[in-house]
Amino acid sequence: MVMARMGTSVQSIRCLRSLCKEGRLEEALRVAEFMVKQEIDLSTGIMYFLLKECTRRKDLAAGRRVRFLIASSGLESNCFLINHLICLFASCGSLEEAVQAFRKAFNKDNHMWTSIMSMHNKHGQGAEAIELYRELRQSDLKPDGYTFATALNACASIGALKEGKLIHADILTSQVEVDEFLGSTLVDMYAKCGSINQALREFSRLPKRDAVSWTAMISGYTQHGYALEALQLFDEMQLKGLKADSVTFLSILKACAMTKALEQGKLIHAQIMGTGLGLNASIGNALVDMYAKCGDVDGARRVFMNLQKRDVVSWNVMITGCVQHGLCHEALNLFMKMQDHGFQPNQVTFMCILKACSSIGALEQGKYVHTQLTKYRLDSNPLVGSSLVDMYAKCGNMDQAQEVFMKLKDRDVVTWTAMIDGYAQQGQSQEAVKFYHEMVEEGVKPNKVTFLCVLSACCHGGLMTEGYDIFHSMHDSFGITPMMEHYTCLVDLFGRGGNLHQAQHFIDTSILRSDMSVQA
């Protein structure tokens, strides 16, 4: 019997360590459970070793047994063990059990609060992490720099600027020093929450700026549309001799794509290859996207073909690039190859490939995509459903478009507009107007594109009265200011109906007045 040979705590630890090293965790647990039954105290060292081994294996069932051993041994107030127990449950994906262990713990320290907040962040529960921070502030504990940083990360993840400012105020009234780490976290929080000016102020206040703080500022600029500023800051970072990492390159490639800065993108590509990061899947996908958005489809194709590992995103960015530049047949070929290589299309893939079918009137290919959507149970998805309606409508199959339309539970303005435009394109003006009125009756507010489609239908169908009334309802009923395209439709409607004087009067009184107000 193993227990007969274990006379001391040290021997117990050695026995359990030996069993675990030999891959005999089950036996180690049985020995520990036997010791508890015999009322032999288990030390913190034994529990730690068992928790460490369970965490390494991500063995949730074994971890639950260790939790029972901790409770049976009266060690639930041991912050050291509870921290490791929380980490175990979190690593196994059981946040609920991590929270249970946290709630039962006595004398919680900063590390424990920070751990449970961090785990909520990792599971995409930023609001819950902020609520935990509020609880901590109600206790006698004073947050340290890591706790503040974790709370700021929670704010950044959900764009909670108000809460972030309150935490910043707490930092300023505390004894905690705003070092590089905490300062960079403040920059990141303000940047991700859209407060770019405040992010820049915090960035300028940093006593020392490392690559993390520069990247936080660059990412914030890019995320909120300040691509030129991001590119300028990246150049400054390079002059400082700081090395960019994969996060920096992802942001700056996006900035190049946004500004169509192809030459700068090529220089960054060469720099990435020099660092060895070109083999990174995310970087590779960003490069494909950058080349495609900058109009260099050949460059995008070369990067795509050289990717050692492709994922669904890789195929999607290449397919999207082809569709954006009118290479719809190539996009359809890529779609087929993607599936031949064992990749399952997702919502983004289908929406893009349906657009390709719409652009070239590829009805048969569109029907095949429809069968694939049904296979993957994505045909009821509102966004995909709208794309499907649009595809059938643009391919001239209004019966099938209406069938898909009627099956959709959630019909938004895009879906209704696709139907109206489809009928207008097929010369079925009365049907287009009918759908427009049904849309309004169902409480869906038309947008400028909707009005352009229905006015075009009225124009081609000679529906002068309906067109005139719909035009004036734009502003009177929906508060939408007409664009020049809307005015042009109505002038065309008057002209086709032979009302040239009315058309001239409309130009003089409406279009010219509108044009003058814009210039003013």
3-state secondary structure 119-155: HHHHCCCHHHHHHHHHHHHHCCCCCCHHHHHHHHHHH
Cα separation, 374 vs 389, whole angstroms: 14
Cα separation, 179 vs 167, whole angstroms: 16
Query: pLDDT truncated to tens, each residue of the chain (520 aa)?
Result: 444 444 455 676 677 777 766 767 788 788 778 777 777 767 777 788 888 888 888 888 888 888 888 888 777 777 788 888 888 887 787 888 888 888 877 778 888 899 899 989 998 999 999 999 999 999 988 999 999 999 999 999 999 999 999 999 999 999 899 998 999 999 999 999 999 999 999 999 998 899 999 999 999 999 999 999 999 999 999 999 999 999 999 999 999 999 999 999 999 999 999 887 767 889 999 999 999 999 999 999 999 999 988 999 999 999 999 999 999 999 999 999 999 999 999 999 999 999 999 999 999 999 999 999 988 888 878 888 889 999 999 998 999 999 999 988 888 899 999 999 999 988 899 999 999 999 999 999 999 999 999 999 998 888 888 988 998 898 888 999 888 888 888 888 877 766 666 666 666 566 544 543 444 3
Rounded to two decimals, the pTM is 0.79
Helix axes 262-275, 246-259, angle to 10 degrees: 160
Closest to 264 (Cα-Cα) out of 298, 297, 287, 239: 287
pLDDT for residue 518: 40
Cα separation, 321 vs 291, whole angstroms: 9
Measured distance between the N- and C-terminal CA atoms of the chain, rounded to whole angstroms: 96
- 413, 450 contact by CB (below 8 A): yes
pLDDT for residue 4: 42
- 360, 330 contact by CB (below 8 A): no
Token representation of residue 383: 């966004």
pLDDT for residue 67: 86
pLDDT for residue 9: 57
Token representation of residue 99: 């929270």
Token representation of residue 193: 């929450």
pLDDT for residue 10: 64
Token representation of residue 348: 């983004």
Token representation of residue 91: 């690593």
How many CB atoms are located within 10 Å of the residue 223 CB?
A: 16
pLDDT for residue 505: 63
The domain ranges of the chain are: 245-309, 439-520
pLDDT for residue 462: 86
